[in-house]
Amino acid sequence: MTTFKSQVPGADGAAEAATSGTATATTEGDRKLTLAEILELLAGGRLPLRFTAYDGSSAGPEDAPFGLELTSPRGTTYLATARGDLGLARAYIAGDIEVHGVHPGDPYELLKALADELVFRMPPPKTMARIVRSIGVEHLRPIAPPPQEVPPRWRRLGTGRRHSKARDAEVIHYHYDVSNTFYEWVLGPSMTYTCACYPRAEASLDEAQENKYRLVFEKLRLGAGDRLLDVGCGWGGMVRYAARRGVRAVGVTLSQEQATWAQRAIAEEGLDDLAEVRFGDYRDIRESGFDAVSSIGLLEHIGVRNYRSYFRFLRSRLRPGGLLLNHCITRPDNKAEPSTHGFIDRYVFPDGELTGSGRIITEAQDAGLEVLHEENLRPHYALTLRDWCANLVAHWDEAVAEVGLEKAKVWGVYMAGSRLQFERGGIQLHQVLAVKDDGHGGVGDLPLRPWWTP
């Protein structure tokens, strides 16, 4: 949300003179700075919100539509001892920072204002030394993070090597086994936790999710009597969509909560003879000869180093001429480090990794799949997250009662922040369609041009 630029031009006194509002600049180098003065120095005197602190200081426009309130010394320690967004996340989740002007279930407008207008700059060394003295050495010693935070990656070795079956099961449990009731409130009746595809800007979330399943179904050229494998199937939305149309569908998920919910939904819809959702690892699927494989929102959990073996495995489950549809979040380029850090890694998706669509296509091709088509649904995910946040706001009291205030706040800031990233292109959503040939370049009776309705 904020970035450090190069050192502020000018002398130390000029940097300190950048303060405004109630945080008044001073030439008395031995006076302790207030927390508001420190923030204004780091922000170059430009604050898009009202900041207040437990030491009685404040800064920023008094009539600002949004505000941040630092309520305790523990919050100062969190902010001073963690880089990037992690310190702010810790203070917010622990209750040491309160937000004003937005709902905690959808702080999008506040995050947008911070991203648009707040840029931290590293002050000159003398000013930085004064800031450190003013904060106090006691706030520069790390303290235990909120209990909702998972350990850093190097400390997760106790649950196994990264992306081993045991460790993948643990991190999936952390994120997806929150509460089916909670997910019902956030995701709505479709119980679909992946990007929707909006046929119109004003379409409802449920209509857009149904349209997404329709798009995947058509791209995979599925029809009655065909066999579908859906890996990372979530609550079985794709499995049930296909089964309603006569397809024999098998789904697999590492979340016991998801599998239980999906199996019950299958039974309630009378789809037992066509649909099945299993609790387990996709690597344990023994059947092969599927007409199609769908992977909707699973690749983010696989690990970039494992992409080639992943695509090879899925290819081995297909019949010759069978189609694979991979739908996942990506980075906008293929150069950035694939792992995630900070808030997302510690509070949302432990061990999650993103890379560019070019890397995904490369690995699919090198695994022996022929890529037929790819498209970016980035704007659709921003709309999806907007609607999920609206659902969380509408069910806020129930959500807090179900999972606790801290977890509900994590979800609000995670979804609102992700919406902002999708809107601005920081992350994207790509669908890649590929086919398994017959070993001689043959791909069956595929049409010459795309056969699905956009």
Question: Residues 276-327: pLDDT tens digits?
Answer: 999 999 999 999 999 999 999 999 999 999 999 999 999 999 999 999 999 9
Amino acid identity, position 226 = D
Residues 105 and 207 placed together within one structural domain of the fold = no
Q: What is the DSSP string of 310-326?
A: HHHHHHHHEEEEEEEEE
Q: What is the pLDDT of residues 239-264, one digit of tens each?
A: 999 999 999 999 999 999 999 999 99
Residues 396, 269 within the same domain: yes
pLDDT at residue 441 is higher than 80: yes
What pLDDT digit, counting tens, does each position of 122-167 carry?
889 999 999 999 999 999 999 999 988 887 755 545 555 555 555 5
Provide the H-helix boundaries in 25-107: 35-42, 73-81, 85-94
Identify which of 111, 109, 82, 110 has the alpha carbon closest to the alpha carbon of residue 94: 82
Asked if the structure places residue 335 within a domain, the reply is yes
Q: Cα–Cα distance between 349 and 339 in angstroms, integer? A: 11
Same domain, 218 and 306: yes
pLDDT at position 13 over 50? no
Dihedral angle, C-alpha 401, 407, 411, 413, nearest 10 °: 110
Determine the pLDDT at residue 351: 80
Query: Would strands 370-376 and 428-435 be described as parallel, antiparallel, or unpaired?
Result: antiparallel
pLDDT at 338: 80
Assign 52 to helix, strand or coil: strand
- The answer to whether the CB of 300 falls within 8 A of the CB of 176 is no
> Based on the domain organization, do 135 and 176 belong to the same domain?
no
Number of domains making up the chain = 2
Strand 428-435 vs strand 318-330: parallel, antiparallel, or unpaired? antiparallel
Count other C-beta atoms under 10 Å from residue 83's C-beta. Answer: 9
Give the per-residue pLDDT at 132.
94
DSSP state of 306: G
Domain of 102 in residue numbering reads as 4-140
pLDDT higher than threshold 70 for residue 11: no
CB atoms within 10 A of CB 230: 30
What's the confidence (pLDDT) of residue 18? 43
Q: Tokens in use for 216?
A: 């995947």
* Dihedral of the alpha carbons of 313, 318, 321, 325, in degrees to the nearest 10: -70
Domain annotation covers residue 114:
yes
* 390, 450 Cβ separation under 8 angstroms: no
Residue 82 lies in a domain: yes
Same domain, 133 and 236: no
Residue 317's nearest CA partner among 300, 297, 296, 294 is 294
Position 172 pLDDT exceeds 80: no
Are both 10 and 123 inside the same structural domain?
yes
Q: 119 and 185, same structural domain?
A: no
Whether the per-residue pLDDT at 60 is higher than 70: the answer is: yes
Between the CA atoms of 58, 59, 65 and 67, what dihedral angle is there, to the nearest 10 degrees? Answer: -50
At residue 384, the 3 state secondary structure works out as: helix
Could you give the 3-state DSSP secondary structure of residue 446? coil
Q: CATH no. for residue 335?
A: 3.40.50.150
DSSP per-residue string spanning 88-141:
HHHHHHHTSEEEESSBTTB-HHHHHHHHHH--EEPPPHHHHHHHHHHH-GGGGS
d(CA 310, CA 317): 11
Please report the pLDDT score of residue 75 as a whole number. 97
Question: Average pLDDT for residues 183-207, to the nearest whole number?
Answer: 97
Q: What's the rounded Cα separation, in Å, for the pair 343 and 326?
A: 26
Residue 451 lies in a domain: no
DSSP string, 283-301: GG-----EEEEEEES-GGG
Question: Residues 6 or more apart from 257 whose CB is under 8 A from it?
Answer: 176, 177, 178, 179, 180
Note whether residue 446 is domain-resident: no
Q: Are residues 179 and 47 part of one domain? A: no
Residue 47 near residue 162 (C-beta atoms within 8 A) = no
Say if 145 falls within a structural domain.
no
Residue 233 and residue 212 in contact, taking contact as beta carbons nearer than 8 Å: no
Name the nearest CA neighbour of 79 among 96, 66, 63. Answer: 96
Band of residue 408 on the pLDDT scale cut at 50, 70, 90: very high
Q: Are 436 and 127 in contact (CB under 8 A)?
A: no
Please indicate, yes or no, whether residues 262 and 226 belong to a single structural domain of this protein: yes
Residue 408 within a domain: yes
Domain shared by 126 and 177, yes or no: no
Residues 248 and 312 in one domain: yes
Contact 399, 392 (CB under 8 A): yes
- Sign of the C-alpha dihedral computed for residues 108, 112, 113 and 114 taken in this order: positive
Report if residue 243 sits inside a domain. Answer: yes
Strands 50-53 and 67-70: what pairing? parallel
Residue 117 pLDDT: 87
279 and 133 in a common domain: no
Q: Give the 3-state secondary structure of residue 65.
A: coil
